[in-house]
Homo-oligomer: A and B are copies of this chain.
Amino acid sequence: MNRQALIHQIKSKGTYLCVGLDTDPEKIPESLLDHPDSIYEFNRQIIDATMDHCVSYKINTAFYEAMGARGWEIMERTIAHIPATHLIIADAKRGDIGNTSAQYAKAFFATMKADAITVAPYMGEDSIRPFLEYPDKWTIVLGLTSNKGAADFELQDSGGQKLYERVLETVSRWGSPENLMFVVGATQADEFLNIRKLVPDHFLLVPGVGAQGGSLAEISAKAMNKDIGLLVNASRAVIYASSGADFADQARQAAAAYHDEMRQYLNGF
């Protein structure tokens, strides 16, 4: 899905919500436990219930890998179930030397058919380039993350600027707003105005609202650009809105609440 199509989806639906499928076998509702394919069935019901309220799904690969090869197979079928109208993000945080990153790009873009992948910047340009070379695919590089550990390196000085600022500045030269986004955590609201000076045109993928405590209102006010430029992810707050038999309906309502709020902030687009 290219930039124009993504912006069209956001404007026409009035939402920039991404729903994170961090599906944990230990949190599957009791009503599904007897289902022979319970993880996939959970995902399928969540997707069907929330698709009118979001423009993207983010698959957190860790939760599937914890199940081994079976988890990968569920991840593949889950992606196949997501409609083409929605941007599919593999939240995989990959990155390695060039010939290995090329294999990761193949894994997620060609084999798994995701539209986007999250990538860690530590190893530099040749670890990121192979992802950027796929047409109509997105590379989403970690900028400033939502966790406490962001203070350990990302926020440290790097030659007169913060490391994450150097990452945004440097990596933005390797791609364009057509194929490159950055991850910026919702808990980092103080930094958003600064971030928009460094990368005014790029889309930002913003996790950390809901369970991690970031404010949707504040992020939207500070980080939206002329093309919206925001995908805000909620995972646990949507998919685990209820642990009962009504989990899908409650997930729909949680996603609809974000949608309603986002529609206000999109007023004027």
A150's nearest neighbour on chain B, judged by CB, is B124
Q: How far is the CA of A10 from the CA of B111 in the complex (A)?
A: 39
Question: Is A217 an interface residue, CB under 8 A from the partner?
Answer: no
Taking CB atoms, residues of chain B closer than 8 Å to A170 are 152-153
Contact B72–A76 (Cβ < 8 Å): no
Q: How far is the CA of A83 from the CA of B173 in the complex (A)?
A: 46
> Residues of A within 8 Å of B, CB-based: how many?
62
Give the oligomeric copy count: 2
Taking CB atoms, residues of chain B closer than 8 Å to A6 are none
Taking CB atoms, residues of chain B closer than 8 Å to A96 are 60, 62, 91, 93
Interfacial residues of chain A within 123-156, with CB under 8 A of chain B in the complex? 123-128, 142, 145-154, 156
Evaluate whether A122 and B154 lie within 8 angstroms (CB atoms) in the complex, with A69-B69, A147-B97 already known.
yes
Contact A147–B126 (Cβ < 8 Å): yes
Question: Is A94 an interface residue, CB under 8 A from the partner?
Answer: yes
What is A's interface to B at a CB cutoff of 8 Å? 22, 24, 60, 62-63, 65-73, 75-76, 91, 93-98, 100-101, 103-104, 106-108, 110-112, 120-128, 142, 145-154, 156-159, 163, 166-167, 170, 212
Q: Which 5 A-B pairs have the closest CB atoms?
A: A124-B149, A124-B152, A62-B103, A65-B107, A69-B73
